[in-house]
Amino acid sequence: MHGEHRRLSRGTKEATGNPGIEAGWRSISVAASGLANTFSRMFDKSSSKQAFDDLGDALDTLDIAHRALPQEAGMPPLIETTPELTPRLVHANA
């Protein structure tokens, strides 16, 4: 991997004082909670197949929130360290 690699971190402070950054962290928190709820519904026997279908949307929402924070902080975009996932069909009998 070449170039600078940074990780987003909240650190130990309660708030940055920058409304854009604080909104970005709230967006990440809400998206992460939504992903956790969606993921847990996948294992609930009373849940429908919809939980599986919603997982991709929840992951996309978290990704969008995560990518927006550096922009709000006035930082360059995060460096991609992993290849983009390629969708593939998963068969129930596989």
Tens digits of residue pLDDT in 50-79: 777 888 899 999 999 988 888 887 877 777
Q: Which residue has the higher pLDDT, 58 or 2?
A: 58
Position 82 scores a pLDDT of 62
Q: Spell out the residues 6+ positions from residue 36 whose beta carbon is closer than 8 angstroms to its own.
A: none
pLDDT at 60: 92
| pLDDT given for residue 59 in this prediction | 92
Q: Is the model's pLDDT at 36 over the cut of 90? A: yes
Segment (H or E) for 68: helix 50-72
Backbone angles phi, psi at 52, to 5 degrees: -65, -40
Which residues are within 8 A (CB) of 20 and not within 5 positions of it... i.e. 6 or more apart? 72, 73
Cα torsion 5, 8, 12, 16 to 10°: value is 120
Domain ranges of the chain: 19-72
The pLDDT of residue 62: 92
